[in-house]
Chain A
Amino acid sequence: MARAISTRRKLAFTAIGWLVGLVIFFPILWTVLTSFKTEGEAIASPPHFLFFDWTLQNYFEVQSRSNYFKHMWNSVVISFGSTFIGLAIAIPAAWAMAFSPTKRTKDIMMWMLSTKMLPSVGVLVPIYLLFRDWGLLDTRLGLVIVLTMINLPIIVWMLYTYFKEIPGEILEASRMDGASLAKEIIYVLTPMAVPGIASTLLLNIILAWNEAFWTLNLSAANAAPLSAFIASYSSPEGLFWAKLSAASTLAIAPILILGWFSQRQLVRGLTFGAVK
C-alpha cells in the first residue's frame, strides 16, 4: 500500500518535473521550430506547431549573408580565453581568501562584487576611449580583457565558496610533507576542487558566450562574435522572425551541445556543498 502511494507520488512528481522543464525549454523549442518556417508562416495566427511546410531556406539565407563560422570562432576565442585567464587569476585569489583570511577578506569580497552593481553603460564611454587609444577596439584581445574583468568577481566568489568546503587540515598536511605553495595549489587543492572549478568554468563560458552589451559595443567587423551575428537579423521594418530564429538557433547550438555533454558536471558543481 505504502509502495503504491509512493509510486503514484513519483509519477506525479515526474509529470510536474517534465511540465516545468517543458515550460522552461519552450522558448528555445519555439525558436528552433520557427527557424524552419517561412516568414509568412512564422507570424501565422493561430500559430502552427508542427504541421507546416518545413524549409531550410532561412539557414541558407543566413549563411549566404553572413559568415557564421567567423563569428563562431570569435565567440569561442572570447569566451574560452576570458574564462581561462579569469580562472588563472581567481584560483590563487580564492585560495588566499579561503585559507588564509584576514579581517578584511569579507570587505574585499564585497568590494569585488560591487563592481557588478554599476550598470555597464555607465562606464561605456571611458572604456571606449581607453580601447580607442590602446588600439583594442574591434579586436578579440580587447574583448577577452573586458570579459575577463567582468566575470572575474563571479569566478572568485564561486571558487571561494567551493574552497571553503575543503578542510584546511588537508592542505596543512601537505605543507607538513614539504609541499611548496605552488605544489599545494596545483597537486592538492585543484584536484579536490575539480567539480567546483569545472562548473565555474562552464558557467563562465556560457556567461561570456551570451554577453551582448560589451561584445556589441566594442566590436565592429573583425572581432564581432555571435551576439552581433544575431543582432544583424532583427529589423523594425519587415518580417524577420524566421531568419532571426535561424540565426539564434545557430548561435546557441554550440553552447547548448557543450552544456548537454557537461550537464552532470554542472549540476554536481552547482549543488556542491548545498546539501549536507
Chain B
Amino acid sequence: MRMKSLMLGACSVIAMAGFAQAETLTIATVNNGDMVRMQKLAGDFTEKNPDIDLQWVTLEENVLRQRVTTDIATKGGQYDIMTIGTYEVPIWAKQGWLLPLDKLVSDANYDVDDLLPPIRSGLTYEDKLYAAPFYGESSFTMYRKDLFEKAGLTMPDAPTWDFIADAARKLTDKGSEMYGICLRGKAGWGENMALLTAMSNSFGARWFDMDWKPQFDQPEWKETLEYYVNLMKDAGPPGASSNGFNENLALFQTGKCAMWIDATVAASFVSDPGESQVADKVGFALAPDKGLGKRGNWLWAWTLAIPAGSQKTEAAEKFINWATSKDYLKLVASKDGWLNVPPGTRTSLYENPEYLKVAPFAKMTLDSINSADPTKPTVKPVPYVGVQFVAIPEFQGLGTAVGQQFSAALAGQTTVDQALKNAQQLSEREMMKGGYIK
C-alpha cells in the first residue's frame, strides 16, 4: 500500500514537472524563403511537443547580425535559438558563446554523418559541432542556353575564366541591353567581396600568408582585380558597382544577362516560371577556375545554434533536431514539393531520385559544395578558415572597407593599382591593431 502511494506520488510529481516545463522558445531568424517556410510548418513541431511554444523574431540579415551579436556578447539572453551563418560559427564557438550540440551528434536518428562534409567542417570547432545547418549554398555559373546556342558556343560543365571572358564579350550587345556577364559590384563583405574573395582563390591569391601578412601587393590579386574590372567594363551592365544579388537577379530574370555567377540558391528563382522570363532557358555549370586546382565558388550555410547561457537548452536542441532532420525535408516535400526542400545540407537528399527528378541543378549544387573546402580554401596555405571570408572578428569591417576600394575601381573612380594599394594599407593597419602582426 505504502509502495503504491509512493509510486502514485512519484507519478504525479513527474506529471507536474511535465506541465511545469511548458516553455517558450524565442527563435531569431532571417527573412529568406526557406526560413519563412520553416515558420509556416512549425505547427508540426508544436503538435509533437505540446509543452513547447515557439515565438519568432524575423529580421533582415544585417539587422539580425547586429542584433544577435549585441545580445550574445552581453549575454542578454533574448534568444534561445539563433540563425547564424558559417562566418559567425567558428568565431563565436571560440569565444565560448555557443553550446556544442552533443545530443544531436549522438542521436542515431539524426544521422550527423549524413551532413555534407564541407558544410559540417565549417561548423565544427575543436571537433565539436556548434551549429546545425538549415540550408547550404555554394556559387556557380548560370547561363542562357538559347543565347549560347545562337552564338555557336558550348558551355563546359567546368568552365575556365578564359572561356567565360571570351564568351561574355561575344554575347554582349550593349545597343539592345544584352550583357555578357553580370557579377556583384556593390561594396560589402558579403556582397562583392564574397564573389571577389572566392574568385581570387581560383587565381591563386589569398588574403593573408601564414604570418597574417596581407597579400594585396601580390601579383595574383592584381590579376584577379584586373580581370574583373576589364571584363565588367567590356561585357557588364552599366552601373554594375551598385549591383548586388537582387539587382543581378532582376537583370537575369528579365533576360538582360547571358551569364551570372552567384549563389546556388538563385537556381530556384531563375527557374521559376512565375518570376522569371527565362525560366526554361537556363543552364548551370560550375564556377570557373584558372587551372590551379581551386574553383571560384564559395560556401555558405544558414545554421541554427544555441547561445551559451540559454535556460532552455533541452527544448532548443529538440527544435534544432526537428528543423534540420531528414524528416523535415520529407515534411516540406509533402506540403510544397521536393523543389522547395532546403538544399545543401544532407547527402541523402542528393541520392533521392524524387529530388533529382525535379531539380535539374541538384548535381551542380552538390558538386559546387563538395569542391569548396573552408579549411583549405586557397592554392597557397593560409592560417584562416573560410572560403569567401576570413573567419576572424575583424573581417566584417575590413572586408567591407576593402570591398569599397574594389567597388570604386569597378566604377572607374580609382585605378586597380590604387585600389590594391589602399586595400593593402587598410589591411595592414587593421591587422596591426588586432595584434596579428607587429
Task: Point out the residue from B55, B250, B275 that lies within 8 Å of A45, measured CB to CB.
Answer: B250
Which of chain A's residues have a CB closer than 8 A to the CB of B75?
Answer: 132
Closest B residue to A128 by beta carbon equals B74
Q: How far is the CB of B66 from chain A (nearest CB, A)?
A: 7
Which of chain B's residues have a CB closer than 8 A to the CB of A232?
Answer: 31, 57-60
Task: Point out the residue from B74, B79, B244, B249 that lies within 8 Å of A220, measured CB to CB.
Answer: B79
Instruction: Digitize B45-73: 1 where CB-to-A-CB distance is under 8 Å, 0 elsewhere.
Output: 00000000001111111110011001101
A224 x B57 contact (CB < 8 A): yes
Instruction: Digitize B32-46: 1 where CB-to-A-CB distance is under 8 Å, 0 elsewhere.
Output: 110010011000000
Q: Verify if B26 is at the interface (C-beta below 8 Å from A).
A: yes
B254 x A238 contact (CB < 8 A): no
A236 x B61 contact (CB < 8 A): yes
Interface size classification for chain A: 20 to 34
Residues 231 to 270 of chain A near chain B (Cβ within 8 Å): 231-240
Closest B residue to A222 by beta carbon equals B55
> By DSSP majority rule, is chain A's interface helix, strand, loop, or mixed?
loop
B74 x A235 contact (CB < 8 A): no
Interface centre among A45, A221, A228, A236 (most CB of B within 10 A): A236
Which of chain B's residues have a CB closer than 8 A to the CB of A233?
Answer: 31, 60
Q: How far is the CB of A102 from chain B (nearest CB, A)?
A: 41
> Given A138-B78, A217-B70, A221-B56: A234 and B31 within 8 A (CB)?
yes
Q: How far is the CB of A131 from chain B (nearest CB, A)?
A: 8
A235 x B67 contact (CB < 8 A): no
Closest B residue to A227 by beta carbon equals B63
Which of chain A's residues have a CB closer than 8 A to the CB of B67?
Answer: 216-217
Q: Verify if B19 is at the interface (C-beta below 8 Å from A).
A: no
Residues 78 to 120 of chain B near chain A (Cβ within 8 Å): 78-79
A45 and B30 CA atoms in complex are apart in Å by 28
Which of chain A's residues have a CB closer than 8 A to the CB of B31?
Answer: 232-235, 240
Task: Sort A-B residue pairs by CB-CB distance and give the 8 closest, nearest first.
Answer: A232-B58, A234-B60, A220-B78, A221-B55, A235-B31, A43-B250, A132-B76, A236-B61
Which residues of A come within 8 Å of B, CB atoms?
39-40, 43-45, 65-66, 124-125, 128-129, 132, 137-138, 216-217, 220-221, 224, 228, 231-240
Given contacts A65-B36, A220-B78, A239-B250, 9 further A-B contacts (CB under 8 A): A45-B254, A66-B58, A128-B76, A231-B59, A235-B31, A235-B60, A236-B190, A236-B246, A237-B32
Which residues of B come within 8 Å of A, CB atoms?
26, 28, 30-33, 36, 39-40, 55-63, 66-67, 70-71, 73-79, 190, 244-246, 249-250, 253-254, 263, 265-266, 269, 274-275
